[in-house]
């Protein structure tokens, strides 16, 4: 597999479009879920980004002073889609957030 570098996503609308596309197989409310993910990321980074052990040079949401990467958000949405009908969307959202953001803090619990 070849990885190609590209510049970071700084526009919230672009990021929203990426998330909506990634969540399309989840259900019809993928736009609402994408908005909630963005809202949570903004809240999380305002309150907890100082706890991160590393600094991402190319910030994902530079407009929001965020250091969550597209890769982390895509892992979150992929997890939610894999859960499919096995759990409610709200629970998949919560577990996906824990998997990607809390783990990124370096707590390793």
Distance CA 92, CA 11 (A): 26
The answer to whether residue 23 scores a pLDDT higher than 90 is: yes
pLDDT in tens, 55-107: 343 444 333 344 677 888 899 999 999 987 788 989 999 999 888 876 665 54
What does 21-65 look like in DSSP terms, one character per residue?
A: HHHTTT-TTHHHHHHHHHHHHHHHHHHHGGG-SS--SS-TTGGGT
Q: Tell me the pLDDT tens digit for each residue of 29-65.
A: 889 999 999 998 888 777 766 654 443 434 443 333 4
pTM over 0.85: no
User: 53 and 108 in contact (C-beta within 8 Å)?
Assistant: no
Token pair belonging to 109 = 């619990």
Q: Which long-range contacts (CB under 8 A, 24 or more apart) does 79-83 make?
A: 80/23, 80/26, 80/33, 81/22, 81/23, 81/25, 81/26
């Amino acid at each position: 597999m070849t990885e190609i570098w590209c510049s970071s996503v700084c526009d919230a609308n672009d990021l929203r479009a990426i998330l909506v596309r990634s969540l399309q197989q989840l259900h019809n409310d993928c736009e609402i879920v994408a908005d909630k993910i963005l809202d949570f990321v903004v809240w999380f980074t305002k309150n907890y980004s100082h706890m991160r052990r590393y600094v991402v040079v190319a910030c994902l949401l530079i407009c929001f002073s965020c250091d969550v990467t597209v890769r982390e958000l895509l892992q979150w949405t992929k997890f939610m889609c894999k859960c499919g009908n096995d759990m409610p969307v709200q629970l998949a959202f919560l577990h996906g957030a824990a998997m990607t953001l809390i783990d990124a803090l370096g707590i390793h619990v």
